[in-house]
Amino acid sequence: MKMKCDNCGFENKKTAKFCTKCGATLDYTPVEPNNKNNNTKYVIIALVIVILVLVGFIGYFAGTMNSNNVQNNDSVQNSSSQSVSSSVESSDSNPQTESVSSSQSKSWESIGSYSGSGSGSQTISVPDGQIMVKLSAYPIKNYATNHLYVTGSNGQSGGVDWGSHSDVETRSDSFTYTSSSSETFTIDYYETVSWEVEFYRYQ
């Protein structure tokens, strides 16, 4: 490569500092290629690619989250539908079965309890229905006529007593009957330390 003189146009050697023809000073400043514009283009392209990748990731995750929310909502709706269905089935159960269950849930319930000691009697009124009577007493020692008797106006009765050679101990008795009307019962007790009579109705 030769150095052209700006003054006379003569071509000198590239290492020459002065023109060999006119003696003018040769000023050689190598022209560097302008890479600045190219670098800017590359930077812009890289940024665009990064932005596109980020947008793609954001779109993917947003779609996945929406899909999960839809599935969860479907699951909740299905569970609610099943619960409603179960409730409807329960409410549509056979009323005859419920009646049987109600009748089977009856039990003996106390309608009166009476107790005392010594000797005497008292009269009480017992309502209608299926009735059970339970009684018990403990006698005073050394007597042969100790007793507790419960007698109804319908002829039903029960009781306990002790003979002169009986052990001094608590004795019990019970009986049941069914009546369509109320009945009157007499409780008769003699020489007792304690006694108790309980009435139950099946209901």
Q: Kind of pairing, strands 129-139 and 171-179? A: antiparallel
Given a cut of 90, is residue 116 above it in pLDDT?
yes
Q: What is the pTM (predicted TM-score) of this model?
A: 0.50
State how far the Cα of 176 lies from the Cα of 6, in Å rounded to an integer.
Answer: 144
Which pLDDT score is estimated for 84? 43
pLDDT value at position 17?
Answer: 86
> How much is the pLDDT for 53?
94
Per residue in 146-174, pLDDT (tens digit) is 999 999 999 999 999 998 888 899 999 99
Residue 131: which of 180, 187, 195, 188 has the closest Cα?
180
- For the chain, the structural domain boundaries read 1-31, 33-72, 108-202
Q: What is the pLDDT of residue 170?
A: 96
N residues, the chain: 203
Residue 135, classified by CB atoms within 10 Å of its CB into exposed (0-12), middle (13-18) or buried (19+), is buried
Q: Tell me what pLDDT residue 117 has.
A: 96
At 62 the three-state DSSP class reads helix
Nearest in space to 18 (alpha carbons), one of 29, 32, 7: 7
Higher pLDDT, 35 or 60: 60
Closest CA relative to residue 111, chosen from 127, 94, 97 = 127
Q: What angle (nearest 5°) sits at the alpha carbon of residue 58, between those of residues 52 and 62? A: 145
pLDDT band at 182 (very low <50, low <70, confident <90, very high): very high
Query: What is the tens place of the pLDDT at every residue in 55-111?
Result: 998 989 888 887 666 565 665 465 555 654 555 455 555 555 555 555 579 999 999
What is the C-alpha separation between 108 and 132, in angstroms, rounded? Answer: 8
Question: Could you say which DSSP state residue 33 is in?
Answer: P
Q: Give pLDDT, residue 118.
A: 95
Cα–Cα dist 107/105, whole Å: 7
Let me know the angle formed at the C-alpha of 49 by 48 and 53, rounded to the nearest 5 degrees: 115
Fold classification of 108-202 (topology level): Jelly Rolls (2.60.120)
DSSP β-bridge partners for residue 161: 147
* Rounded Cα distance, 88 and 80, in Å: 12
CA 79 remoteness from chain centre? 15
pLDDT digits (tens, 9 = 90+) for 1-33: 677 888 898 888 888 888 988 988 887 555 455
pLDDT reported for residue 196: 98
Cα dist from 27 to 11, 14, 17, 80, whole Å: 13, 11, 7, 91
